[in-house]
């Protein structure tokens, strides 16, 4: 990593979590999207909604998902 980038990263890590999250969102929004990205996500969203509506998928609360992931990492 180059020196200016290290300095920026160090300064960013001193920000409160909500400001780091806002900075992250700004940086991600500044990146170019791959061709077809929006179309691919639109199709995926449609697939997930259809799976929920036809009963082949269920919604799981985020807290449960993260708890399961934590237990799998142990």
Q: What is the pLDDT of residues 32-56, one digit of tens each?
A: 988 888 899 999 999 999 999 999 9
Query: Does residue 58 share a domain with residue 41?
Result: yes
Residues 74 and 43 grouped into a single domain: yes
Asked whether residue 49 falls in the same domain as residue 65, the answer is yes
Number of domains, the chain: 2
| Residue 68 and residue 37 share a domain | yes
Q: How is 4-50 classified by DSSP, letter by letter?
A: HHHHHHHHHHTS-HHHHHHHHHHHHHHSPPPTTHHHHHHHHHHHHHH
- Say yes or no to pLDDT of 6 above 80: yes
47, 62: one domain: yes
pLDDT bucket at 26, cuts 50 / 70 / 90: very high
Residue 40 and residue 74 in one domain = yes
**pTM for this one?**
0.49
Which residue range is the domain that position 3 belongs to? 1-31
């Amino acid at each position: 990593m180059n020196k200016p980038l290290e300095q920026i990263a160090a300064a960013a890590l001193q920000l409160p979590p909500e400001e780091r999250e806002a900075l992250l969102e700004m940086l991600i929004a500044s990146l170019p999207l791959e061709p077809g990205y929006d179309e691919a996500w639109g199709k995926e969203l449609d697939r997930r909604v259809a799976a929920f509506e036809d009963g082949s998928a269920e919604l799981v609360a985020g807290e449960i998902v993260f708890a399961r992931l934590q237990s799998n990492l142990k």
